[in-house]
Chain A
């Protein structure tokens, strides 16, 4: 019997691409990729019915390595391409993987409006609190006071929380996980893919090379340990005070609601408009070609 890890390695990875992948040793992106592959494998989706779109950034490299239908698009526009793909072929499972800068800085507007419109796609946002690829500039999720190449004295702005933003913007499913809680992440991603509507999974990940090193957070191992210590499940967090929750974050499902999906509504209206147009033409033909021509 083949191990699941072997199946994933043999059947889901593109071996003609350069492996080992480009990510730094211990980078959380690889763990998220593993979780995504296990989730799709466990859902028994065929590789041909999944589309993986990404933007630019370290996280954007992910589709290069996975043998789904993949598009590596421009910075921040992963969701726009994904929307187009979903509209063109609603049968496909469309997944968009983005970095925190990709999804909430340059692509922030696309993100909130995709959530508001409730398009039936899955967004996986790898939040490593920095712009990893370009050398560690601050991103919208860099915590106040953190050092980065563009905030050498400590960041003066405040971060926002991606998952909570997605909830208020109207996403159908919002979950948050970390790369330490990898098996929990599998399930979250699986649920997000099965969910009908816009689903968001924010993954707290480590960029120890650009963010960890500058802020003395240690290497991959130490950052992983801090995720373990600081993550609180949604249920537990309800019983904790705001002081206790300081420096901590919740993991689990933050929102799971059912509401109409705009892409489906759009198709329905399209069909209705076609039928109405047909009726008008038929009526005109019935009333005489002369009047129809007028």
Chain B
């Protein structure tokens, strides 16, 4: 999948006709069809976060809390539904939501 994305990023796609139709919905919140019981990890990149409070107020599950300085944190990570509503509303690109894998394989392709 990564390879595929990388390839498409490098390939100039040429004319507009070849481009996929955004109507069909290829936003990533749709491509992440959730399996039941999947758990997610939410990480905040505090160097970029400006403590605006948007993520905490918009999270549908209300699991994002703010510390006294306004910075977000999550206590009950298992309740995250993986909807990524916080990700697309963070003006500072400071949130990453990832599927949690038991074998910690994900640590290999971390930033």
Q: Mark out the residues of chain A between 12 and 40 whose CB falls within 8 Å of any chain B CB in the assembled complex.
A: 13, 19-21, 23-31, 33-35, 38-39
Interface of A is mostly: helix
A143 surroundings in chain B (CB, below 8 A): none
B48 & A19 in contact (Cβ 8 Å cutoff) = yes
Q: Which residue of A has the minimal Cβ distance to B57?
A: A221
Q: How far is the CA of A1 from the CA of B90 in the complex (A)?
A: 21
A45 to B12, CA, bound (A): 6
Bin chain A's interface residue count.
35 or more
Chain A residues whose CB sits within 8 angstroms of the CB of B22 once the complex forms: 39, 42-43, 186-187, 190-191, 194
Contact B21 A30 (CB under 8 A): no
Task: Give B97 Cβ to nearest chain A Cβ, in Å.
Answer: 7
In which size bucket is the chain B interface? 35 or more
| A119 CB-CB contact with B under 8 Å | no
| Contact residues of B between 25 and 67, Cβ < 8 Å to A | 25-29, 47-54, 57-58
Q: How many pairs of A and B residues are in contact by the CB < 8 Å rule? A: 131
Q: With A and B bound together, what is the CA distance between A9 and B33 in angstroms?
A: 22
Interface status of A224 (Cβ within 8 A of chain B):
yes
Specify which chain A residues have a CB less than 8 angstroms from the CB of B19 in the assembled complex: 43-45, 194
Q: Tell me the smallest distance from the CB of B6 to a CB of chain A, in Å.
A: 9
* Across-interface contacts of A26 in B (CB, < 8 A): 50, 52-54, 91
A4 near B28: Cβ-Cβ < 8 Å: yes
Q: Is residue A134 contacting chain B, with contact meaning CB distance below 8 A?
A: no
A31 neighbours in B (Cβ, 8 Å): 88-91
Question: A224 touches which one: B12, B51, B54 (CB < 8 A)?
Answer: B54
Q: Which of B12, B50, B89, B96 contacts A182 (CB 8 A)?
A: B89
B2 with A1: CB separation less than 8 A:
yes
**Which of B2, B49, B50 is the most central at the interface, judged by chain A CB atoms within 10 Å of its CB?**
B50
Contact in complex: B12, A48 (CB < 8 Å): yes
Contact A25 B51 (CB under 8 A): yes
State whether the Cβ of B75 lies closer than 8 Å to any Cβ in chain A: no
A3 interface residue (CB < 8 Å to B): yes
Contact of A49 among B12, B51, B58 (CB under 8 A): B12
List residues of chain A with CB within 8 A of the CB of B51: 25
Chain B residue contacts of A182, Cβ below 8 A: 88-89
Docked-complex contact B20 and A186, CB < 8 angstroms: no
Interchain CB contact under 8 A, B5 and A7: yes
